[in-house]
Every structure is written in structure tokens, then in C-alpha cells.
Amino acid sequence: MKRTFSIGGIHPNDSKLSREAHIEIFPVLDVAYISMAQHLGAPAEPVVQKGDKVRVGQVIGKPTGFISAFVHSSVSGTVKAVEPKGDLAGNPVMHVVIDVEGDEWCEEIDRSKDIVREIPFSSEEILEKIKNAGVVGLGGAAFPTHVKLNPPKDKKAEYLIINGTECEPYITSDDRIMRERPDEIVIGAAIMMKALKADKCYIGIEENKPEAIASMKEAASPYPGIKVAVLKKKYPQGGEKQLIDALIGRKVPSLALPIEVGAVVQNVGTSLAVYEAVQKNKPLIDNVITVTGSCVPHQRNFLVRVGTPFSKMLDAIGGLPKDAAKFISGGPMMGKAVANMDASTLKATSAFLLLTEAETKRKEETNCIRCGKCIDACPMGLEPYLLNKLSRIGGMHDELEKEKIQDCIECGCCLYSCPAHIPLLDIIRVSKAEVMNIMRNRSAKQ
């Protein structure tokens, strides 16, 4: 029987328009803008200066805290500037701007296509290699992978869970890499199992990707610990907490990490990046990005170097389509609307989605009719209508905390399913940040 998570969830049309588009290599442009804040946690600190020569794979930013990651140059050339530039939301972030000259790679990177199966490294060596390669979670949050693979000593990771669900509509980058590079993903999983000393691994894939399921099953067959699990199609299956519930039937406690129930979740893209980092010494400098949308004439999946400006990627598909009304980095459920076209791609950018006004424009809000559809949809078992009501009164932070607003995973199911078009998540997201802040201050005082 196909498994799925037990509470809530929605079934939006999956719209995988670009699923048959092969991964194309996106050309290297003349200037790269590489952000120092490509991961969750403290931004990296630039270690190059204006005028420095850099090669592909060279470190240009070093981590500044425990939760932070290296940033590498994705191009070769001369550093033109180290300065703040707007990210996709228009807020300034330190960038290293590099004028591209040729395509010269660091020598230690193995650029051959040969698949290396042997894993001659110890757990510590693997973690060190992953850390040095600047690998971060490619599922969306961009959490530094070496931190996640190094749980506290008193916690044991029983399961490694590889997330190949790609439950967001439209995005197909994970689907394509599972179809085109399954062996590397499986070896990446084996490497992470070794790092975690976990002996069981599930690769969860939703049923709407039969080709990926077939190719991954074949690739995983030599590895007895790795199993491909077919999941029902339901959003947000790719949420860590939902995926753990679906695959091993455990529920992560409030505000805890998955390791609390003996699981570590990694995305298939991360698995591929881990393979390249450990077996090929290749840092995370490129990733597959889907460019899609009903108004886009040609659906594409590109392998893009980190630091490519959004506007240049749009040029490659023939400019902004005429009826595009919203440009989204990521999927339609959790992606961010882009306000600044001059921003550039990050390690964890998974898709560019163009939606038309008819598809995306918010409708006018009407009265709540207490239909309870938001409650049915919420995968965390919360009551979005109530959180919205309490938030709008203002100053109800204690009540919101009692109603577990801090458990919200911001998946967007409530806003998606509300027939009264109430902007539930818009309001809940802000209140959640306020409540989390209050909780942090309180625990800091104790």
C-alpha cells in the first residue's frame, strides 16, 4: 500500500509541465554575482578582495559560525567587487562580483563522468569533505548539510530519509536528476548513511513520478539498506515532519528536530551534491533549476552555475512572457515572489515559476464562514482560522503560543484552501515570528 502522512494535506494540480525536458547546461555568463548568504544561519565572510584572480571551485567565503557554510566561486576570472547587493526580496546582502574569464577549474576537482562507488573515507573525513564543499540542504531551507549529518552525541540516527517527493507543483528538477543521475544520488545516500552510521535508508518518491521511481529502484538494488518507498501524491509530503510520519510513522515533537525520533532527512539534490563533494571533490557550485509556467513557451530544466542573475535566465527563455504577472523563485506553494530581478541564483534555488494574473492574483477577502477547510488542510493539526483571528486582535501572543502557532510549517495549505480567500498564512507568518521571538527571549533569560 502506498503511504502518506496522516494529518491534513491538500491535492493541488501537480502541473509538472517540464517533466520531459532534459537537463541542459546553462552557459556561463560574463559576470557572476555570488551571495554570501546562501544558507540558513550566519552569512559567510568574503575571503577575496577586488582584483583577486579566482578559479572555479575556489573558496571565496568562509563560515562565520557553527551554523554557516563555505561559499565557492562558480566561475573563473577576476573579482570585480565585494559589495552589498539586493537579494530577491530587495534586502542588501554581501555579494562577490566576478568578471568571468575562461573556465578554469581547481585541479583537485574530478570532472570526469565516471561513477565512483567505493567510499574509502571515515565518517569524520566525509563530514569534513561535505563541510569544505559548502553543501547545504537543497530542499528549500538550505540548512548546512554537515551540521545536519553530525547529530548530538546522545542522539542516534536510525534512519536516513532521502526526500524525492517533490510535492510542490510545477518543479521538476529533482525528478530530472532522479531520472538522469540515479546512481550518483544512491551513492550519495550511502555516503551519508556511513557518515551518520545509520543502517536504514528510505528514498521517498511520490507516485506521479513513475520513471524516477523505476530508475531509483534500479540504482538502489545493489544496496540492501536503501529502499525506495512510493508515496501517494499529497502536499506537503516533502515537509520533513510529514515525510517522517509517512515513511516511518513517527511524529517529531513540537520545536524538536527530526533526530529526536532517530531520523535525518535530506533532499535528493543534496544527496547528489554530497556524492560530488566526497567522490569528486567538487564543491556545490551549480544546481538544476526548472524554468516553467503555463505562460512560458518552452519548459526547461537547466544546470545553472550559482550566481547567475535571474534576468539573464529569463533572457534565455526569450524574456518575460507577456502575460506573466508573478515571478517566483521556488514552487507555487512555498516559493518566494521575486521583487528584485537583478538578484542572482543561490545553491538552493530549485525553480523559476512564472504565473499569470488569472492563476495567482489574490481574490478579495470575504467573511469567514467557519467551514473548517483550513483545519482539514493543516498538516500540523492547527486551527488556522483561530490563529488568524487571534493575530488580528493583536497582543494575543500567549494565546497563540497555547494554540501552537510555533508548530506552523508555513506550507500554505490553509491559505490555498480557504474559500473566503482570507490571507491566513500572511497573517500567521508574522505572528509566528513574533511568538518565536518571545519564546527565544524567554528561554535566553532562563
Partner 1 sequence: MARLLVSGAPHLHVKENTQSLMRDVLIALAPSLLVSIYFFGFSAIKLVLVGVISCVLVEYLIQKFILKTKVTINDLSAAVTGCLLALNLPPSSPWWLVFIGAIVAIGIVKMTFGGLGQNIFNPALVGRVFLLISFPTLMTDWTIPESWFRTGVDAFTGATPLALTKEGLAAGLTLPEIFAANEFTFKEMLFVKIGGSVGEVSALALILGFVYLLIRRVIKPHIPLIIVGTIAVMTGIFNLINPDIYTGPLFNIFTGGVLLGAIFMATDYVTSPMSIKGMVIYSIGIGVITVLIRYFGAYPEGISFAILIMNTTVPLLNKYCKPRRYAKEVKNG
Partner 2 sequence: MSTTIIFTVVSLVALGLLFSVVLYIVAQKFKVEEDPRIDIIESLLPGANCGGCGLAGCRAFAEEVVNAPSLGSLSCPVGGDAVMENVAAALGQEAVKIEPRVAVIKCHGTVDNRARINHFDGYASCKVMASLYSGDTGCRYGCLGKGDCVEACKFDAIRIDERRGIVEVDEEKCVACGACVRACPKSIIELRPKGPKNRRVYVSCSSKDKGAIARKACSVSCIGCGRCAKVCAFDAITIENNLAYIDPSKCKLCRKCVDECPTKAIWAVNFPIKVPLTPKQEKPVIKTDNREEKR
Interface ranges with partner 2 (CB under 8 A):
86, 89-91, 326, 336-337, 339-340, 360-362, 423, 426-427, 429-430, 433
Residue 237 CB neighbour total at 10 angstroms: 26
Encode 124-166 in three state secondary structure: HHHHHHHHHCCCECCCCCCCEHHHHCCCCCCCCCCEEEEEECC
| Residue type at position 281 | N
Q: Is residue 366 a contact residue for partner 1 (CB under 8 A)?
A: yes
* Closest separation in Å from C-beta 209 to partner 2: 31
* Closest separation in Å from C-beta 302 to partner 2: 25
Where in 382-441 is the site for partner 1 (CB under 8 A)? 382-383, 385, 404, 407, 410, 412, 415-421, 423, 425-426, 429
* Closest separation in Å from C-beta 79 to partner 2: 21
| Cell 583537485 sits on residue | 108
For the four alpha carbons of 253, 256, 257 and 262, in that order, the dihedral sign comes to negative
* Closest separation in Å from C-beta 435 to partner 1: 13
Q: Is residue 249 a contact residue for partner 1 (CB under 8 A)?
A: no
Q: Among 258, 263, 259, 288, which Cα is nearest to 273's?
A: 288
| Residue type at position 264 | V
Q: Is residue 246 a contact residue for partner 1 (CB under 8 A)?
A: no
Asked if omega into 236 is within 30° of 0 (cis), the reply is yes
* Closest separation in Å from C-beta 90 to partner 2: 3
Closer to partner 2 by Cβ: residue 24 or 83: 83
* Closest separation in Å from C-beta 276 to partner 2: 33
Spatial distance between the Cα atoms of 38 and 145, rounded to a whole number of angstroms: 13
Closer to partner 1 by Cβ: residue 23 or 387: 387
Closer to partner 2 by Cβ: residue 89 or 256: 89
Spatial distance between the Cα atoms of 385 and 414, rounded to a whole number of angstroms: 8
Secondary structure (3-state) at 315: helix
Question: Beta strand 226-231 with 324-329: parallel, antiparallel or unpaired?
Answer: unpaired
Closer to partner 2 by Cβ: residue 90 or 249: 90
Spatial distance between the Cα atoms of 277 and 105, rounded to a whole number of angstroms: 15
* Closest separation in Å from C-beta 89 to partner 2: 4
Residue 91 touches which of partner 2, partner 1, none (Cβ within 5-8 Å per kind): partner 2
308 burial type by CB count under 10 A (0-12 exposed, 13-18 middle, 19+ buried) = buried
C-alpha distances in Å from residue 128, one per residue of 119, 146, 204, 238: 14, 8, 27, 27
Q: Retrieve residue 438's grid coordinates.
A: 518571545
In the shown chain, the binding pattern of residues 161 to 190 toward partner 1, with x for contact by CB under 8 A and - for none, equals --------x---------------------
The DSSP-derived string for 383-415 is: -HHHHHHHHHHSS-HHHHHHTTGGG-----HHH
The answer to whether 305 touches 75, Cβ cutoff 8 Å, is: yes
Residue 433 touches which of partner 1, partner 2, none (Cβ within 5-8 Å per kind): partner 2
Using CB under 8 A, pick the residue from 369, 395, 437, 440 that binds partner 1: 369
Q: Is residue 252 a contact residue for partner 1 (CB under 8 A)?
A: yes
In the shown chain, the binding pattern of residues 202 to 241 toward partner 1, with x for contact by CB under 8 A and - for none, equals ---------------------------------------x
In the shown chain, the binding pattern of residues 41 to 70 toward partner 1, with x for contact by CB under 8 A and - for none, equals ------------------------------
* Closest separation in Å from C-beta 360 to partner 2: 8
Q: Which residues bind partner 1 (CB under 8 A)?
A: 7, 12, 169, 241, 245, 251-256, 260, 320, 324-328, 330, 332-339, 353, 355, 357, 359-363, 366-372, 375, 378-383, 385, 404, 407, 410, 412, 415-421, 423, 425-426, 429, 443, 446
